[in-house]
Amino acid sequence: MEQNQQNNQNNNNNNNFFNKNPIFVFAIFAFVIIFLFRTFSGDEGMMGENLRGTTQQVGYSELKSLITSKRVNKVYIGQTNIKAQGEANVVYTARKVNDPNLITILDANEIPYSSYNESNAFTDVLFSWIIPPLIFFGIWFLLITRMQKNVGGGILGVGSSKKLVNSEKPKVKFDDVAGVEEAKEEVQEIVDYLKFPDKYLRLGAKIPKGILLVGPPGTGKTLLARAVAGEASVPFFSISASSFIEMFVGVGASRVRDLFETAKKEAPSIVFIDEIDAIGKSRGSSPMGGNDEREQTLNQLLSEMDGFDADKSPVIVIAATNRPEILDAALLRPGRFDRQVLVDKPDFKGRCDILRVHMKNVKLSPDVNVEDIGRLTTGLAGADLENIINEAALLAGRNSKEFIEQKDLVEAVERAIAGLEKKSRRVNQKEKRIVAYHECGHALIAEITKGAKKVSKVSIIPRGLAALGYTLNTPEENKFLMQKHELLAEVDVLLGGRAAEEVFIKEISTGASNDLERATDIIKAMVSMYGMSEVAGLMVLEKQRNTFLAGQTIKDYSDKMAEKLDNYVREVLEEHYKGVLDSLRTYSGAIENMVKALYEEETIEGKKVREIIAEFEANSGLNSRLEPIENEQESQNKDEKSAEI
């Protein structure tokens, strides 16, 4: 305690004005010295003898009158001034004028005169050659000293990590992390080890030195790492891997050393490195080769993870990435990052749990149904769900509501999926009619095609940057596998919009460009990646580069195979397009009824769409191609029961 008080007192003493502003103080000091030299180095001392008395400034003509009246004893002529010693200890000073008669007047009145040098050799050398360099080097020295003191480590402090590391003791607990139950179980033993290390050490067990959290963006990897530190009540040092990289060689390695030295002093502790792929990229993957700054930083990280004893100074390294496939093999070997934990997007129950966690801090209306929102948000990550709750709160606040209602949450979901509603965008009647038939075509094919996603909502209200309308298809649960007929059903749904324009408008528009692009990509993937055609058989033609990011694929096939692939894609698209056209002509009455409902309400729910189709089938005597509604209700009941469990 006394040592801390003494340190605080020393810090307060060093925190005065002079220590805070050394450059400013030095500049003031230099100015005072120059001013004193200028003040006390008068011209009198430059004449070989002193002029004593009161100095009086006079004009040149008045000085000549004093000379002719012999009221001065001696005259001193300088480069710019003339000084005369007068009676009663008065020194007359006048500006020099180019007057060739002055010397004649002085000789005529027998007044002695001489010249004097107004400058001084000592002061000239001092102020021209000595003081300016001293000021320059003094400021440079203070600047270097100050930067090294504040940042520390290396030239200008670029090798230190103190300013880049966020050190804290998080208050986040496992209860604040939802939707990743399996991942929490994997890291639970880390918490137990940090709390009760003897329980493991007496059995000879060694805790993993490193844990790698992998998964798509926004799934809660950083939050999970903070929760581990919060549950264990240990210091948490977090830094982004990109902070290790600098233009100076060796800086990244120095920062790695500094980070681990700090963590060891606070052991037991947790070091969290976010986006570790910035420095952990596989060595030798660069086409240029060489031992660059990134590789030196990686080498130092590998050395540090080998260099500390987890038993004596337990420092757990947790890293996060969404590109595990590019990490160096030496980084993933046992003894470094011993364990990889998948933090994936949540399922239905996980989404409901995440929504409940984020709903704790907002005011909800009693009519809010979490399960309904969970079904609408299939495929979204935890960060998306948090943003939906916040967006719903903003919408409710904008409308001056006391509570967040169900329709606010639904609107927030639609904003996250389809974009901001553009009620101010004016669409003429011709385009509105095209959009209505286009979206109804999507909706009808989605409902009558086996394996297609069911319709949640159809709208002709513009949203986002370019969408003039949208059909919302949200599956009730995550699908990790898709069968061939489900992929082809998705192609049919995508072609339904353009086909509806051809059947009912009698002319196609540019509105189906994105639909055709997505349909083409699906069929290409069926051939080149999934082996679902006879064109390439079981041979894989494209490899996906990133597991969790929608990155580019690596193509590996000949020009002849590319020609076969193009022909097959075209044939499949044309075949399914003809089938979609036939279905739309058969259900033309249902399309017209849907369009009429859209014109009246602008937005219709999926339930209304199914009712219109079922009514048309009953009136036309057609065999129903709709799945029975009771099956869907049973599926919902099963989901609700599983959520309760």
- The whole-number average pLDDT for the span 140-147 is 67
Q: What is the pLDDT of residue 437?
A: 94
- The whole-number average pLDDT for the span 137-145 is 71
Strand partners, 165: none
Q: Which residue has the tokens 């029975």?
A: 628
- Domains in the chain, ordered, with CATH? 2-39+123-151 (no CATH), 42-119 (3.30.720.210), 166-342 (3.40.50.300), 348-417 (1.10.8.60), 429-644 (1.20.58.760)
Q: How many residues does the chain have?
A: 645
Q: What is the pLDDT of residue 113?
A: 84
User: Is the per-residue pLDDT at 512 higher than 80?
Assistant: yes
In angstroms, rounded to a whole number, what is the distance separating the alpha carbons of residues 492 and 421? Answer: 27
Q: What is the pLDDT of residue 147?
A: 57
Q: Mind listing the pLDDT tens digit for each residue in 214-252?
A: 888 888 888 888 888 888 888 888 877 777 765 445 567
Q: Please, which pLDDT band fits residue 430 given cuts at 50, 70 and 90?
A: confident
The pLDDT mean for the chain works out to 78
Lowest-pLDDT choice from 124-128, 611-615, 634-638: 634-638
Lowest-pLDDT choice from 33-37, 116-120, 152-156, 510-514: 152-156
The three-state secondary structure class of 468 is coil
Q: Mind listing the pLDDT tens digit for each residue in 296-312?
A: 778 778 887 775 555 56
CA 563 remoteness from chain centre: 42
- The whole-number average pLDDT for the span 530-538 is 88
Q: What is the layout of strands, in order, in the sheet containing 603-605?
A: 470-473, 455-459, 603-605
Cβ-based neighbours of 544, under 8 Å, separated by 6 or more: 529, 551, 553
User: Is the per-residue pLDDT at 46 higher than 50?
Assistant: no
Instruction: Report the amino acid identity of residue 466.
Output: A
Q: What is the pLDDT of residue 15?
A: 52
| Residue 168 is among the residues annotated as catalytic for this protein | no
Q: Mind listing the pLDDT tens digit for each residue in 67-121?
A: 888 888 888 888 788 888 887 788 888 888 888 888 888 888 888 888 877 766 5
Greatest CA span in the chain, whole angstroms?
142
Q: Please, which pLDDT band fits residue 4 given cuts at 50, 70 and 90?
A: very low
| Pair 148, 111: CB distance under 8 Å | no
| Pair 500, 459: CB distance under 8 Å | no
The three-state secondary structure class of 315 is strand
Cβ-based neighbours of 38, under 8 Å, separated by 6 or more: none
Q: Please, which pLDDT band fits residue 21 given cuts at 50, 70 and 90?
A: low
Q: What is the pLDDT of residue 571?
A: 94
Q: What is the pLDDT of residue 644?
A: 43
Q: Parallel, antiparallel, or unpaired: how do β-strands 553-555 and 603-605 relate?
A: unpaired
Q: Please, which pLDDT band fits residue 440 given cuts at 50, 70 and 90?
A: very high
Q: Of 275, 405, 439, 476, which one is the catalytic site residue? A: 439
Strand partners, 271: 237, 317
In angstroms, rounded to a whole number, what is the distance separating the alpha carbons of residues 293 and 299? Answer: 10
In angstroms, rounded to a whole number, what is the distance separating the alpha carbons of residues 123 and 134? Answer: 15
Closest to 605 (Cα-Cα) out of 386, 427, 376, 397: 376
In angstroms, rounded to a whole number, what is the distance separating the alpha carbons of residues 628 and 21? Answer: 80
Q: Mind listing the pLDDT tens digit for each residue in 537-588?
A: 888 888 776 666 655 667 778 888 889 999 999 999 999 999 999 999 999 9
Pair of tokens at residue 371: 């399960």
The listed range with the strongest mean pLDDT (10-19, 353-362, 457-466, 474-483) is: 353-362
- The whole-number average pLDDT for the span 183-209 is 81
Cβ-based neighbours of 314, under 8 Å, separated by 6 or more: 193, 194, 197, 207, 267, 268, 269
In angstroms, rounded to a whole number, what is the distance separating the alpha carbons of residues 107 and 545? Answer: 103
Q: What is the pTM of this model?
A: 0.66
Task: Identify the H or E element spanning 348.
Answer: helix 348-359
